[in-house]
Chains A and B, each alone.
Chain A
Amino acid sequence: MHIPDGFLDAKTFVALDVVGAGFVAVAAARARRALSERAVPLMAVLAAFIFASQMLNFPVAGGTSGHFAGGALAAIILGPWAATLVMTLVLVIQALVFGDGGVLALGANVFNMAVVTPFVGYGLYRLIRRLWRNEAGRFVASFAAAWLAVVAAASTCAVELAISGTIPLAVVLPAMTVVHAVIGVGEGLITALALGALRATRPDLLELAPGGGAR
Protein backbone atom coordinates (compact mmCIF):
# COMPACT_ATOMS: atom_id res chain seq x y z
CA MET A 1 0.00 0.00 0.00
CA HIS A 2 3.05 2.25 -0.38
CA ILE A 3 1.86 5.41 -2.14
CA PRO A 4 4.29 6.54 -4.86
CA ASP A 5 4.85 10.22 -5.62
CA GLY A 6 2.30 11.41 -8.16
CA PHE A 7 -0.78 9.83 -6.56
CA LEU A 8 -1.32 12.66 -4.04
CA ASP A 9 -1.60 16.40 -4.65
CA ALA A 10 0.63 18.93 -2.88
CA LYS A 11 -1.83 20.06 -0.18
CA THR A 12 -2.48 16.48 0.82
CA PHE A 13 1.11 15.25 0.94
CA VAL A 14 2.39 18.40 2.67
CA ALA A 15 -0.33 18.17 5.34
CA LEU A 16 0.43 14.49 5.91
CA ASP A 17 4.20 15.13 6.01
CA VAL A 18 3.52 17.58 8.86
CA VAL A 19 1.11 15.23 10.66
CA GLY A 20 3.46 12.27 10.20
CA ALA A 21 6.44 14.24 11.51
CA GLY A 22 4.38 15.26 14.55
CA PHE A 23 3.50 11.66 15.41
CA VAL A 24 7.12 10.54 14.94
CA ALA A 25 8.36 13.36 17.21
CA VAL A 26 5.93 12.35 19.97
CA ALA A 27 6.86 8.69 19.50
CA ALA A 28 10.57 9.52 19.82
CA ALA A 29 9.98 11.60 22.96
CA ARG A 30 7.95 8.80 24.54
CA ALA A 31 10.54 6.19 23.56
CA ARG A 32 13.24 8.26 25.24
CA ARG A 33 11.28 8.16 28.50
CA ALA A 34 9.84 4.65 28.39
CA LEU A 35 12.13 2.40 26.35
CA SER A 36 13.44 -0.47 28.44
CA GLU A 37 16.86 -1.94 27.84
CA ARG A 38 15.38 -5.19 26.56
CA ALA A 39 13.24 -3.33 24.06
CA VAL A 40 16.27 -2.12 22.07
CA PRO A 41 17.27 -5.42 20.41
CA LEU A 42 13.60 -6.39 20.12
CA MET A 43 12.83 -3.22 18.14
CA ALA A 44 15.77 -3.94 15.83
CA VAL A 45 14.69 -7.54 15.28
CA LEU A 46 11.09 -6.53 14.63
CA ALA A 47 12.16 -3.84 12.15
CA ALA A 48 14.32 -6.36 10.26
CA PHE A 49 11.57 -8.98 10.31
CA ILE A 50 8.97 -6.49 9.07
CA PHE A 51 11.26 -5.22 6.29
CA ALA A 52 11.96 -8.77 5.08
CA SER A 53 8.30 -9.83 5.36
CA GLN A 54 7.16 -6.83 3.35
CA MET A 55 9.17 -8.19 0.40
CA LEU A 56 7.19 -11.43 0.50
CA ASN A 57 4.17 -10.73 -1.66
CA PHE A 58 1.66 -13.57 -1.70
CA PRO A 59 -0.99 -13.90 -4.43
CA VAL A 60 -4.51 -13.11 -3.23
CA ALA A 61 -6.59 -13.09 -6.42
CA GLY A 62 -6.02 -13.02 -10.16
CA GLY A 63 -3.14 -10.65 -10.77
CA THR A 64 -3.19 -9.17 -7.28
CA SER A 65 -0.76 -9.75 -4.44
CA GLY A 66 -0.41 -8.57 -0.88
CA HIS A 67 2.22 -8.68 1.78
CA PHE A 68 2.43 -8.63 5.55
CA ALA A 69 2.59 -5.06 6.90
CA GLY A 70 3.40 -5.64 10.56
CA GLY A 71 2.07 -2.51 12.27
CA ALA A 72 -0.37 -4.37 14.51
CA LEU A 73 2.21 -7.03 15.42
CA ALA A 74 4.78 -4.40 16.41
CA ALA A 75 2.16 -2.48 18.43
CA ILE A 76 0.93 -5.53 20.32
CA ILE A 77 4.52 -6.40 21.30
CA LEU A 78 6.01 -2.93 21.88
CA GLY A 79 3.03 -0.63 22.37
CA PRO A 80 1.74 1.68 19.64
CA TRP A 81 4.27 4.50 20.01
CA ALA A 82 7.36 2.33 19.75
CA ALA A 83 5.65 0.57 16.84
CA THR A 84 5.29 3.96 15.12
CA LEU A 85 9.08 4.35 15.30
CA VAL A 86 9.77 0.84 14.00
CA MET A 87 7.32 1.18 11.11
CA THR A 88 8.58 4.68 10.21
CA LEU A 89 12.15 3.44 10.05
CA VAL A 90 11.15 0.61 7.69
CA LEU A 91 9.24 3.08 5.48
CA VAL A 92 12.16 5.53 5.37
CA ILE A 93 14.59 2.82 4.28
CA GLN A 94 12.11 1.53 1.69
CA ALA A 95 11.57 5.01 0.24
CA LEU A 96 15.19 6.21 0.23
CA VAL A 97 17.10 3.01 -0.57
CA PHE A 98 14.61 0.97 -2.59
CA GLY A 99 12.34 3.56 -4.19
CA ASP A 100 9.28 1.89 -2.63
CA GLY A 101 6.82 4.61 -1.68
CA GLY A 102 7.32 8.24 -2.66
CA VAL A 103 9.65 10.60 -0.84
CA LEU A 104 7.05 13.40 -0.85
CA ALA A 105 4.38 10.86 0.05
CA LEU A 106 6.45 9.56 2.97
CA GLY A 107 4.27 11.39 5.51
CA ALA A 108 1.15 9.81 4.02
CA ASN A 109 2.71 6.35 4.14
CA VAL A 110 3.91 6.98 7.70
CA PHE A 111 0.42 8.08 8.69
CA ASN A 112 -1.28 5.04 7.10
CA MET A 113 1.19 2.32 8.00
CA ALA A 114 3.12 3.66 11.02
CA VAL A 115 0.29 5.47 12.84
CA VAL A 116 -3.08 4.03 11.74
CA THR A 117 -2.04 0.34 11.74
CA PRO A 118 -0.34 0.36 15.19
CA PHE A 119 -3.02 2.39 16.96
CA VAL A 120 -6.02 0.62 15.40
CA GLY A 121 -4.38 -2.78 15.90
CA TYR A 122 -3.35 -2.09 19.48
CA GLY A 123 -6.74 -0.60 20.40
CA LEU A 124 -8.75 -3.52 19.06
CA TYR A 125 -6.34 -6.08 20.56
CA ARG A 126 -6.67 -4.61 24.04
CA LEU A 127 -10.44 -4.29 23.71
CA ILE A 128 -10.95 -7.93 22.69
CA ARG A 129 -8.51 -9.17 25.34
CA ARG A 130 -10.44 -7.35 28.02
CA LEU A 131 -13.63 -9.11 26.97
CA TRP A 132 -12.18 -12.51 26.12
CA ARG A 133 -9.37 -13.61 28.37
CA ASN A 134 -8.62 -17.22 27.40
CA GLU A 135 -6.24 -18.68 24.78
CA ALA A 136 -8.86 -18.57 22.00
CA GLY A 137 -9.42 -14.90 22.77
CA ARG A 138 -5.72 -14.29 22.27
CA PHE A 139 -5.77 -15.77 18.77
CA VAL A 140 -8.98 -13.99 17.80
CA ALA A 141 -7.73 -10.68 19.21
CA SER A 142 -4.42 -10.87 17.29
CA PHE A 143 -6.11 -11.91 14.06
CA ALA A 144 -8.91 -9.31 14.24
CA ALA A 145 -6.56 -6.50 15.31
CA ALA A 146 -4.20 -7.10 12.39
CA TRP A 147 -7.04 -7.51 9.91
CA LEU A 148 -8.77 -4.29 10.96
CA ALA A 149 -5.44 -2.41 11.03
CA VAL A 150 -4.82 -3.21 7.36
CA VAL A 151 -8.38 -2.43 6.28
CA ALA A 152 -8.31 0.86 8.23
CA ALA A 153 -5.00 1.87 6.62
CA ALA A 154 -6.37 1.02 3.15
CA SER A 155 -9.42 3.18 3.85
CA THR A 156 -7.28 6.11 5.00
CA CYS A 157 -5.20 5.70 1.87
CA ALA A 158 -8.40 5.82 -0.21
CA VAL A 159 -9.52 9.01 1.56
CA GLU A 160 -6.12 10.62 0.84
CA LEU A 161 -6.41 9.72 -2.87
CA ALA A 162 -9.93 11.20 -2.94
CA ILE A 163 -8.90 14.43 -1.15
CA SER A 164 -6.09 14.73 -3.71
CA GLY A 165 -8.68 14.64 -6.49
CA THR A 166 -6.99 11.56 -7.96
CA ILE A 167 -10.16 9.50 -7.90
CA PRO A 168 -13.66 9.90 -6.37
CA LEU A 169 -14.09 8.44 -2.88
CA ALA A 170 -17.15 6.43 -3.95
CA VAL A 171 -14.95 4.59 -6.46
CA VAL A 172 -11.70 4.15 -4.54
CA LEU A 173 -12.97 3.45 -1.00
CA PRO A 174 -14.86 0.24 -1.80
CA ALA A 175 -12.09 -0.96 -4.13
CA MET A 176 -9.29 -0.42 -1.58
CA THR A 177 -11.33 -1.82 1.30
CA VAL A 178 -12.36 -5.01 -0.50
CA VAL A 179 -8.85 -5.84 -1.77
CA HIS A 180 -7.32 -5.24 1.66
CA ALA A 181 -10.07 -7.16 3.44
CA VAL A 182 -8.65 -10.18 1.57
CA ILE A 183 -4.98 -9.24 2.10
CA GLY A 184 -5.84 -8.61 5.77
CA VAL A 185 -6.63 -12.31 6.27
CA GLY A 186 -2.95 -13.04 5.57
CA GLU A 187 -1.96 -10.21 7.91
CA GLY A 188 -4.20 -11.60 10.64
CA LEU A 189 -2.89 -15.16 10.32
CA ILE A 190 0.79 -14.13 10.27
CA THR A 191 0.28 -11.82 13.26
CA ALA A 192 -1.53 -14.47 15.31
CA LEU A 193 1.03 -17.17 14.43
CA ALA A 194 4.03 -14.89 15.11
CA LEU A 195 2.61 -13.90 18.51
CA GLY A 196 1.90 -17.55 19.29
CA ALA A 197 5.48 -18.51 18.40
CA LEU A 198 6.88 -15.68 20.51
CA ARG A 199 4.69 -16.68 23.44
CA ALA A 200 5.86 -20.30 23.15
CA THR A 201 9.57 -19.39 23.09
CA ARG A 202 10.00 -16.05 24.91
CA PRO A 203 6.81 -15.10 26.79
CA ASP A 204 8.77 -12.51 28.78
CA LEU A 205 9.14 -10.41 25.62
CA LEU A 206 5.39 -9.95 25.49
CA GLU A 207 5.37 -7.97 28.73
CA LEU A 208 7.24 -4.98 27.32
CA ALA A 209 4.38 -2.85 26.05
CA PRO A 210 3.14 -0.21 28.48
CA GLY A 211 0.22 -1.37 30.59
CA GLY A 212 1.01 -5.07 30.52
CA GLY A 213 1.57 -5.48 26.82
CA ALA A 214 0.39 -8.49 24.90
CA ARG A 215 -1.06 -10.39 27.84
Chain B
Amino acid sequence: MKKFTWVALAAALFLGVIVSPFASSWLDGLERVAQAKGFLGRGEGEPLVSSPVPDYAFPGVRGERLATALAGGLGTALTFAVAFALAATLRKRRN
Protein backbone atom coordinates (compact mmCIF):
# COMPACT_ATOMS: atom_id res chain seq x y z
CA MET B 1 0.00 0.00 0.00
CA LYS B 2 1.04 3.54 -0.64
CA LYS B 3 2.60 5.84 1.91
CA PHE B 4 -0.53 8.00 2.14
CA THR B 5 -2.61 5.03 3.23
CA TRP B 6 -0.21 4.12 6.05
CA VAL B 7 0.13 7.70 7.27
CA ALA B 8 -3.65 8.21 7.21
CA LEU B 9 -4.28 4.90 8.98
CA ALA B 10 -1.71 5.84 11.64
CA ALA B 11 -3.50 9.18 12.10
CA ALA B 12 -6.85 7.41 12.49
CA LEU B 13 -5.34 4.98 15.01
CA PHE B 14 -3.88 7.95 16.91
CA LEU B 15 -7.39 9.40 17.21
CA GLY B 16 -8.96 6.05 18.11
CA VAL B 17 -6.36 4.97 20.68
CA ILE B 18 -4.69 8.07 22.12
CA VAL B 19 -7.37 10.78 21.85
CA SER B 20 -10.57 8.77 22.38
CA PRO B 21 -10.03 8.15 26.15
CA PHE B 22 -10.22 11.93 26.63
CA ALA B 23 -13.47 12.45 24.70
CA SER B 24 -16.45 14.02 26.46
CA SER B 25 -18.73 11.50 28.15
CA TRP B 26 -21.69 13.86 28.21
CA LEU B 27 -24.87 12.68 26.49
CA ASP B 28 -24.91 13.21 22.73
CA GLY B 29 -27.51 15.34 20.96
CA LEU B 30 -30.15 12.64 20.54
CA GLU B 31 -29.63 11.21 24.06
CA ARG B 32 -29.86 14.71 25.51
CA VAL B 33 -33.14 15.39 23.72
CA ALA B 34 -34.41 11.95 24.78
CA GLN B 35 -33.53 12.70 28.40
CA ALA B 36 -35.08 16.17 28.35
CA LYS B 37 -38.28 14.89 26.69
CA GLY B 38 -38.51 11.78 28.84
CA PHE B 39 -37.96 8.87 26.43
CA LEU B 40 -34.31 8.02 27.12
CA GLY B 41 -35.36 4.99 29.16
CA ARG B 42 -37.00 3.36 26.15
CA GLY B 43 -33.58 2.63 24.70
CA GLU B 44 -32.23 1.01 27.83
CA GLY B 45 -33.75 -2.46 27.59
CA GLU B 46 -31.77 -5.65 27.21
CA PRO B 47 -29.96 -5.40 23.83
CA LEU B 48 -31.17 -7.73 21.10
CA VAL B 49 -27.65 -8.76 20.18
CA SER B 50 -25.08 -8.68 22.95
CA SER B 51 -22.12 -6.80 21.53
CA PRO B 52 -18.60 -8.06 22.29
CA VAL B 53 -17.29 -4.60 23.24
CA PRO B 54 -20.28 -2.74 24.73
CA ASP B 55 -20.08 1.06 25.01
CA TYR B 56 -16.57 1.27 23.56
CA ALA B 57 -15.01 -0.29 26.68
CA PHE B 58 -12.89 -3.37 26.18
CA PRO B 59 -14.29 -6.02 28.55
CA GLY B 60 -12.15 -7.24 31.41
CA VAL B 61 -9.89 -4.18 31.39
CA ARG B 62 -9.88 -2.29 34.68
CA GLY B 63 -8.77 1.22 33.75
CA GLU B 64 -11.55 3.10 32.01
CA ARG B 65 -9.17 4.99 29.72
CA LEU B 66 -7.24 1.87 28.77
CA ALA B 67 -10.50 0.03 28.03
CA THR B 68 -11.58 2.87 25.73
CA ALA B 69 -8.17 3.04 24.02
CA LEU B 70 -8.22 -0.71 23.31
CA ALA B 71 -11.77 -0.51 21.98
CA GLY B 72 -10.81 2.46 19.80
CA GLY B 73 -7.79 0.65 18.41
CA LEU B 74 -9.76 -2.51 17.70
CA GLY B 75 -12.62 -0.61 16.06
CA THR B 76 -10.39 1.59 13.91
CA ALA B 77 -8.28 -1.35 12.68
CA LEU B 78 -11.34 -3.56 12.12
CA THR B 79 -13.15 -0.81 10.19
CA PHE B 80 -10.09 -0.25 7.99
CA ALA B 81 -9.67 -3.96 7.27
CA VAL B 82 -13.35 -4.66 6.52
CA ALA B 83 -13.71 -1.52 4.36
CA PHE B 84 -10.59 -2.44 2.41
CA ALA B 85 -11.77 -6.01 1.84
CA LEU B 86 -15.28 -4.87 0.88
CA ALA B 87 -14.10 -2.21 -1.59
CA ALA B 88 -11.52 -4.56 -3.13
CA THR B 89 -14.12 -7.35 -3.48
CA LEU B 90 -16.68 -5.04 -5.09
CA ARG B 91 -14.06 -3.86 -7.57
CA LYS B 92 -12.95 -7.39 -8.41
CA ARG B 93 -16.48 -8.63 -9.01
CA ARG B 94 -17.31 -6.07 -11.67
CA ASN B 95 -18.59 -7.74 -14.82
Contacts and interface: CB of A to CB of B under 8 A. Distances in A.
A64 B42 contact: no
A49 B15 contact: yes
Interface residues of B, number: 62
Contacts, number: 207
A35 B87 contact: yes
Contacts of A96: 49, 51
Nearest to B50: A99
Interface stretch (A3-11, A114-122, A140-148, A206-214): A3-11
A186 B78 CA distance: 26
State the main secondary structure of chain B at its contact with A: helix
State the main secondary structure of chain A at its contact with B: helix
Interface in A55-99: 55-60, 63-67, 85-86, 89-90, 93-99
A104 to B, nearest CB: 6
Interface in A22-52: 28, 31-33, 35, 37, 39-52
A65 B12 contact: no
Interface in B9-47: 9, 11-13, 15-16, 19-20, 23-30, 32-34, 36-37, 39, 42-45, 47
A95 B48 CA distance: 11
Nearest to A68: B15
Given A51-B16, A157-B30, A103 B49 contact: yes
Contacts of A46: 83
Contacts of A161: 39
A157 B90 CA distance: 30
A2 interface: yes
Given A99-B54, A166-B42, A64 B28 contact: yes
Interface of A: 1-7, 28, 31-33, 35, 37, 39-53, 55-60, 63-67, 85-86, 89-90, 93-100, 102-104, 154, 157, 161, 166-167, 171-172, 175-176, 179-180, 183, 201-202, 205
15 contacts: A4-B44, A7-B34, A7-B43, A33-B94, A42-B5, A48-B77, A48-B80, A49-B8, A51-B76, A55-B75, A59-B26, A60-B29, A85-B87, A93-B75, A98-B51
